[in-house]
Amino acid sequence: MTLTVAVQMDPLEKIGIAGDSTFALMLKAQERGHRLFHYLAEDLGYEDGRVRARARPVTVQRVEGHHFSAGDWHVLDLAAGADVVLMRQDPPFDIGYITATYLLERIADDTLVVNDPRSVRDAPEKLFVLDFAHFMPPTMISRNLSEIRDFHQRHGEIVVKPLHGKAGEGVFRIGQDGTNLTALAELFGSIWKEPFIAQAFLPAVTDGDKRIVLVDGEVAGAINRKPGPGEFRSNLAAGGTAQKTELTDREREICAAIGPELKRRGLLFVGIDVIGGFMTEINVTSPTGIVAIDQFNGSDTPALIWDAIEAKVAAKASAR
To the query of whether residue 281 is one of the catalytic residues in this protein, the response is yes
Q: Is there a contact between 240 and 227 (Cβ–Cβ < 8 Å)?
A: yes
Report DSSP letters for 120-168, one per residue. HHH--HHHHGGGGGGGSPSEEEES-HHHHHHHHHHHSSEEEE-TT--TT
- Given the residues 209, 273, 294, 310, the one annotated as active site: 273
| 85 strand-pairing partners | 6, 113
Q: Crossing angle of helices 301-319/21-31, nearest 10°?
A: 60
To the query of whether residue 143 is one of the catalytic residues in this protein, the response is no
As a whole number of angstroms, the distance between CA 56 and CA 60 comes to 13
- Given the residues 28, 52, 121, 126, the one annotated as active site: 126
- Given the residues 83, 125, 209, 281, the one annotated as active site: 281
To the query of whether residue 244 is one of the catalytic residues in this protein, the response is no
**Which amino acid is residue 287, in one-letter code?**
P
Length of the chain: 320
- Given the residues 28, 210, 225, 265, the one annotated as active site: 225
- Given the residues 161, 209, 251, 294, the one annotated as active site: 161
As a whole number of angstroms, the distance between CA 136 and CA 27 comes to 35
Q: Is there a contact between 181 and 148 (Cβ–Cβ < 8 Å)?
A: yes
To the query of whether residue 261 is one of the catalytic residues in this protein, the response is no
| 6 strand-pairing partners | 37, 85
Q: Find how far residue 22's CA is from the centre of its chain.
A: 11
To the query of whether residue 265 is one of the catalytic residues in this protein, the response is no
To the query of whether residue 264 is one of the catalytic residues in this protein, the response is no
- Given the residues 83, 233, 265, 294, the one annotated as active site: 233
- Given the residues 28, 121, 210, 211, the one annotated as active site: 211
- Given the residues 115, 224, 235, 283, the one annotated as active site: 283
Q: Is there a contact between 211 and 272 (Cβ–Cβ < 8 Å)?
A: yes
To the query of whether residue 121 is one of the catalytic residues in this protein, the response is no
β 4-8/84-87 pair status: parallel
β 218-226/209-215 pair status: antiparallel
Q: Which H/E stretch holds residue 265?
A: none
Number of other CB atoms surrounding residue 281 within 10 Å: 22
Task: Give just the sign of the alpha carbon dihedral 209, 305, 14, 282.
Answer: negative
Secondary structure class of 211 (helix, strand, coil): strand
Secondary structure class of 201 (helix, strand, coil): coil
To the query of whether residue 13 is one of the catalytic residues in this protein, the response is no
* Enzyme catalytic residues: 126, 161, 211, 225, 233, 273, 281, 283
